[in-house]
Structures are given as structure tokens and as C-alpha cells.
């Protein structure tokens, strides 16, 4: 079966042929690769072609695909039944581990996706504070709940506008959208709206407008302002949790959130999300408190088994040092190859996440991300794909390295990029 024929067939029954928009390759053109299987750092498409994978299920596959210990845990759990709608011991083990490892977590509840986690964290922040407004930052993506599909209004400090059809304007109006990394603007926003702001939600390292690193004063200032004005600071660590380090971005940057949202790595590739944080706030969730949340598949035993096995592996001594080194090897190698051929390019790595930019330096804001040369990215993406390297199919996504990527895999990627950069300059 060819990827093209599968894509044509898929489009007859699935909108755009995919179950999540970026996968449709609309940003880069062409047919997506339909993946038949994956192992370690590689995946194989329906035509039997192998690719070094730098998507890693958008960060989830931090130990690589089909790790034998994760596969064994999933098989064992599946043999005991798929779903009970009743509590299990494995959920306690997961909760204990998350509360032990993450500085900001006293109590945690498991859900089935990052979107569910952020949606519920917002509801909880609103229920806890009795306020309605939330602050988010342009270019940060927190899943597809109505209040979060919002873009900046006419001025950054005015009401937000829906960024998706179907989101009621009155819902969007309670979301203020500010510029990432601009603490002065956040300060002005609090000065004008402080008594109405329930929460500030942020990706501590952004992974959804390519990778954008936080300025230290941005996260620090945000913490101080939330404390001063009684707003709940929600760190959305769906991508960064167990990806930029064992204690998440909160541990890496020393920022104590009030609530944290998680997903991806904690499910090891299966559908798991979580929200948790300060006891006082988490005690507002039903049935302890008045904020409602529930789910049949929350804490699903097979998904939790995959997550727990993954979390056991990432606790091995030196895991994140090695992951960080490999990711640095990749970004340094790509940067050197581009420089050699005079291609305007930059790259950076944070833990096992990376960003590649067709721009002279790493962007620090949404506006700077928009200045990247998208056409150059698209040429690079397709030429690398042809050479068996699969980056995310959009210039506005972060990349991910796993512990299964060997030094030789990275060298192979850099060598392919060297040839691609050389051709791009001709
Ligand atoms: N929302 C993800 C990109 N930031 C894409 C998810 C997917 O296609 O699996």
C-alpha cells in the first residue's frame, strides 16, 4: 500500500484523512507517511520505508518506541482486563510518584488527555478563586477547550477573540492573550484586571510554536504577580513534564506552580493526562469540593501501566544527562552543517526537546517565530524525509529526541542535513 493511496482512502471517511490536523501535512504539502510500526528511534511507513523519528508522538516516546519493558507492562496489564470504572493500585503508584518527583504537586488526579487536564485545571482555578478571567500567551497551545482556543484581541490587554469557529465570543472574552516572555505586559495586565484574574496558564518551555525558551525573569515575574494578586499559576507541563528533566520545567527553572498539567510521557504513548498541585486547591475537586470532573477512562489500567513503566525507566541514573547530550549533539551538528553551507539557520535544545529555525537566532516570542523562513523549512523537511529522517511536518512544532536515539543515529541525521543544506544553497 502506498502512502498516497492510503491518504486518498482516508480522506473519504476522515476529515482531511487524519485524526489531528498537523498530521495532514497541509503546512508542508504532500502525503503524510502512514506508520505501520515503530521500534526504538525508528518508524516504518506502509511502504516499508524506515525513518529516524524526531516527532516521538509529540514528546511522549521519551524512552523510544516499543521499549520491551513498556510493552511487557502493557501486556501484563491488558491480560488482567482493560477498564473497570473502579480504582486500582497502579493509580496510587502513579500518583505517589508524580507527587514525589514534581515540586508543585501535593495531590493529583489522572485523566485521559492533556486537553482534559488543562480544561479541568482552568475550571478548578475559577472555582477556587471565584473569578472568571484567565491569561494565556500567544503561541502557547493548551489543548482544544473553548476558553483556550483564543487569540489576542485588538490590543493585547483587551478581550480575546475565538481562534476557532464554534467558540462563543463570550467564552473567549474571558481569556486575555498576552505576549510570551513579556513580563512588563503581564504586570500591566494584572494592574488593570488583577481582581478578576483566576489563573495564568503557560507552557514553561513552549513546544507548540516551535520551541521557545522562557526568559528567567518571565517565569519568576509571573510567579510573583500571581502570588501578589491571588491568581492560580498553572504550568502546562503536558510537553515539558519528564521531557526537560525528571522534575519537569518547574524543577529545572525553580518555579513552584499552584497547579500543573501533564500528559504525553506519563502515558508512555497511551492516553493519560493529569492535573495536580497545591492541596488547598485540589481539595476543591469533586467529591471533596464543588468543582466537578469525572471520566470512565480516567486512570485506565493499561494506559497507567505504560506510563508507570516509562516513568521507572526515566529514573535511571544519568537518563536525562544522556538525553540532553544527544539532543545537543543534534542541534550543534545541524547548526554547524548549516553554517558550513551559508544557510540562515539556528537551533536549540532543552532536555530532550529541540527547536530548529530558518532564522539567524532562536526566537523568543510568537512574532519572532513568525519571522522564520517557512519555505526553507518545507524544502528542508521534504529533503530530510526523502533521506529517511522524519521531523514534525510544520515549522511551528518542536522536535523530540528519545533515549533510543544513538550517537550514530544523530550523526546519520546531521550527515543527511549536511547534504540537504548544501543543495539548498545551490
Ligand atoms: N497538537 C500536536 C502538535 N502540537 C499535534 C498532535 C498530533 O497530531 O498528534
pLDDT tens digit sequence for 58-107: 999 999 999 999 999 999 999 999 999 999 999 999 999 999 999 989 99
For residue 274 and ligand 1, the question of a CB distance below 6 A is answered with no
| 154 and 58 within one domain | no
Mean pLDDT for the stretch of residues 202-214: 97
| 232 and 173 within one domain | yes
CA–centroid distance, residue 225 to ligand 1 (Å): 31
DSSP state of 342: T
| 364 and 227 within one domain | no
Q: What is the mean pLDDT of the chain?
A: 96
What is the position in ligand 1's atom list of the atom closest to the CA of 398?
Answer: 4
What is the position in ligand 1's atom list of the atom closest to the CA of 19?
Answer: 8
Q: Measure the CA–CA gap between 236 and 193, rounded to whole angstroms.
A: 22
DSSP state of 392: -
For residue 58 and ligand 1, the question of a CB distance below 6 A is answered with yes
Which residues 6+ apart lie within 8 Å of 216 measured at CB? 253
Q: Which three cell numbers stand for residue 155?
A: 490590543
| 47 and 36 within one domain | yes
Q: Give residue 152's pLDDT.
A: 78
| 300 and 187 within one domain | yes
| 352 and 377 within one domain | yes
Nearest CA residue ID for atom 9, ligand 1: 20
Q: Is 412 exposed, middle or buried (0-12, 13-18, 19+ CB in 10 A)?
A: middle
Residue linked to cell 513498556: 70
| 362 and 418 within one domain | yes
| Residue 287: strand, helix, or coil | coil
CA–centroid distance, residue 53 to ligand 1 (Å): 15
List the domain range (segments joined by +) for residue 266: 69-314
Q: Which of 255, 180, 251, 182 minimizes the C-alpha distance to 224?
A: 255
CATH assignment at residue 22 = 3.90.1150.10
Q: Which three cell numbers stand for residue 108?
A: 493529583
Mean pLDDT for the stretch of residues 355-380: 97
Residue linked to cell 473497570: 84
pLDDT tens digit sequence for 342-363: 999 999 999 999 999 999 999 9
Q: How far is CA 282 from CA 65, 154, 297, in A?
A: 34, 35, 20
Q: String of b and e for 377-394 (b: at least 16 CB within 10 Å)?
A: bbbbbbbbbebebbbbbb
| 285 and 159 within one domain | yes
Strand 197-202 relative to strand 389-390, pairing: unpaired
Angle at 144 between CA 138 and CA 147, to 5 degrees: 65
| 8 A C-beta contact, residue 234 and residue 387 | no
Q: Give residue 153's pLDDT.
A: 72
What is the position in ligand 1's atom list of the atom closest to the CA of 239?
Answer: 4
Q: Which of 209, 325, 202 minimizes the C-alpha distance to 258?
A: 202
Q: What percent of the chain has pLDDT over 70?
A: 99
The residues facing 184 across adjacent strands are none
Q: Using CA of residue 185, residue 190, residue 192, residue 197, what is the dihedral sign?
A: positive
CATH assignment at residue 135 = 3.40.640.10
Q: How far is CA 281 from the centre of its chain?
A: 24
Nearest CA residue ID for atom 6, ligand 1: 20
Q: Give residue 35's pLDDT.
A: 98
Plot region of 325 (φ>0 → left; ψ -120 to 50 → alpha; else → beta) = alpha
Among the three residues 256, 280, 314, which one is the final residue of a domain in this structure?
314
| 8 A C-beta contact, residue 279 and residue 128 | no
Among the three residues 280, 314, 348, which one is the final residue of a domain in this structure?
314
pLDDT tens digit sequence for 116-172: 999 999 999 999 999 999 999 999 999 999 999 998 776 666 678 889 999 999 999
Domain count, the chain: 2
Query: Is residue 403 pLDDT above 80, yes or no?
Result: yes
| 328 and 275 within one domain | no
Q: Which three cell numbers stand for residue 294?
A: 469525572
CA–centroid distance, residue 22 to ligand 1 (Å): 6
Alpha helices in 173-229 (DSSP H): 183-193, 216-229
| 81 and 229 within one domain | yes
Instruction: Please indicate, yes or no, whether the overall pTM of this predicted structure exceeds 0.95.
Output: yes
pLDDT tens digit sequence for 278-331: 999 999 999 999 999 999 999 999 999 999 999 999 999 999 999 999 999 999
Q: How far is CA 301 from CA 221, 271, 304, 418, in A?
A: 40, 11, 5, 45
Which amino acids are annotated catalytic? 141, 236, 264
CA–centroid distance, residue 340 to ligand 1 (Å): 33
Nearest CA residue ID for atom 8, ligand 1: 20
CA–centroid distance, residue 288 to ligand 1 (Å): 33
| 84 and 37 within one domain | no
For residue 203 and ligand 1, the question of a CB distance below 6 A is answered with no
CA–centroid distance, residue 397 to ligand 1 (Å): 9
What is the position in ligand 1's atom list of the atom closest to the CA of 18?
Answer: 8
Question: Which backbone phi and psi does 23 adopt, to 5 degrees?
Answer: -65, -15
For residue 7 and ligand 1, the question of a CB distance below 6 A is answered with no
| 74 and 61 within one domain | no
Among the three residues 314, 338, 359, which one is the final residue of a domain in this structure?
314
Strand 353-357 relative to strand 389-390, pairing: unpaired
Q: What percent of the chain has pLDDT over 90?
A: 95
Q: Give residue 157's pLDDT.
A: 64
Nearest CA residue ID for atom 2, ligand 1: 58
Amino acid at each position: 500500500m502506498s502512502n498516497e493511496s492510503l491518504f486518498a482512502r482516508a480522506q473519504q471517511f476522515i476529515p482531511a484523512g487524519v485524526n489531528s490536523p498537523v498530521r495532514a501535512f497541509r503546512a508542508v504539502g504532500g502525503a503524510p507517511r502512514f506508520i505501520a510500526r515503530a521500534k526504538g528511534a525508528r518508524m516504518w511507513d506502509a511502504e516499508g520505508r524506515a525513518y529516524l523519528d524526531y516527532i516521538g508522538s509529540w514528546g511522549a516516546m521519551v524512552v523510544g518506541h516499543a521499549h520491551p519493558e513498556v510493552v511487557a507492562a502493557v501486556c501484563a496489564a491488558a491480560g488482567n482486563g482493560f477498564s473497570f470504572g473502579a480504582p486500582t493500585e497502579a493509580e496510587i503508584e502513579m500518583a505517589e510518584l508524580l507527587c514525589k518527583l514534581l515540586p508543585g504537586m501535593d495531590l493529583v488526579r489522572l485523566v485521559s488527555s492533556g486537553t482534559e487536564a488543562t480544561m479541568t485545571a482552568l475550571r478548578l482555578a475559577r472555582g477556587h478563586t471565584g473569578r472568571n478571567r484567565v491569561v494565556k500567551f500567544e503561541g502557547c497551545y493548551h489543548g482544544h477547550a473553548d476558553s483556550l482556543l483564543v487569540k489576542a484581541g485588538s490590543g493585547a490587554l483587551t478581550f480575546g477573540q475565538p481562534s476557532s469557529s464554534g467558540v462563543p465570543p463570550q467564552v473567549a472574552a474571558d481569556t486575555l492573550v498576552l505576549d510570551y516572555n513579556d513580563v512588563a505586559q503581564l504586570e500591566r495586565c494584572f494592574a488593570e484586571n488583577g481582581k478578576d484574574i483566576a489563573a495564568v496558564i503557560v507552557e514553561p518551555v513552549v513546544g507548540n510554536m516551535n520551541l521557545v525558551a522562557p526568559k528567567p525573569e518571565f517565569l519568576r515575574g509571573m510567579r510573583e504577580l500571581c502570588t501578589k494578586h491571588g491568581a492560580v499559576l498553572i504550568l502546562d507541563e503536558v510537553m515539558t513534564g519528564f521531557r526537560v528533566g525528571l522534575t519537569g520545567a518547574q524543577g529545572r527553572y525553580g518555579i513552584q506552580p499552584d497547579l500543573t498539567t501533564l500528559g504525553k510521557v506519563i502515558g508512555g504513548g497511551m492516553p493519560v493526562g493529569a492535573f495536580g498541585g497545591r492541596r488547598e486547591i485540589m481539595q476543591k475537586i469533586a467529591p471533596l469540593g464543588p468543582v466537578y470532573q469525572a471520566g470512565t477512562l480516567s486512570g485506565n489500567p493499561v494506559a497507567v501501566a505504560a506510563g508507570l513503566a516509562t516513568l521507572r525507566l526515566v529514573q535511571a541514573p544519568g537518563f536525562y544527562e544522556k538525553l540532553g547530550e544527544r539532543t545537543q549533539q543534534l542541534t550543534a551538528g545541524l547548526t554547524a552543517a548549516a553554517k558550513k553551507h551559508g544557510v540562515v539557520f539556528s537551533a536549540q535544545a532543552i532536555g530532550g526537546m529541540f527547536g530548529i529555525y530558518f532564522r539567524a537566532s532562536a526566537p523568543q516570542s510568537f512574532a519572532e517565530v513568525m519571522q522564520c523562513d517557512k519555505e526553507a523549512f518545507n524544502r528542508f523537511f521534504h529533503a530530510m524525509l526523502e533521506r529517511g529522517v522524519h521531523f514534525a511536518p510544520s515549522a511551528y512544532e518542536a522536535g523530540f529526541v528519545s533515549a533510543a536515539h544513538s550517537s550514530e543515529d544523530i550523526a546519520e541525521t546531521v550527515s543527511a542535513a549536511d547534504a540537504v543544506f548544501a543543495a539548498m544553497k545551490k
